[in-house]
Structure 1
Amino acid sequence: MALMITDECINCDVCEPECPNGAIYQGEEIYEIDPNKCTECVGHFDEPQCQQVCPVDCIPLDPKREETKDQLMAKFLKLTGKA
């Protein structure tokens, strides 16, 4: 699954630079995650880095974007040009 940022986000800006895929960006009110770029850090790290640094724990899995680890790895390979 891709991750999402909930409206509990406090715009602290610690998650954006941690995303190796550049999936996190400043939205109109809070940070948002582009689900087409989010691999949950599969291919880069063992755990999603944004979740690790978020001080308010507002980055859950997006239930509307179910993806297997294989699908996330395929997305990683496509995004990095390693496919």
Structure 2
Amino acid sequence: MEANSDLKKGMGKYFGVCPSYHHSKGCRCSNCPSYPGDDRYMYCARGVAESPAEDKGCLCRDCYVYHQFALEGDKFCMRNPE
């Protein structure tokens, strides 16, 4: 039941994106125009940016990690996890 509500929130089919070295190499966060510059990456796995990100566009849907884990939605660096 809880998994269905997560799908409805746009969190994709997988609920544990693996932030491994292999997957981090496919991450596009640091190339994104909205990248907040906080030296983090894989916001889809690690949560929102520590410093506020300004919406200047989004590369999430073009990312290897996004497709590998069948994610849905975008702007993971700005998403409120609640």
Higher strand share: 1
Higher helix share: 2
The TM tier, using the shorter chain, reads 0.3 to 0.5
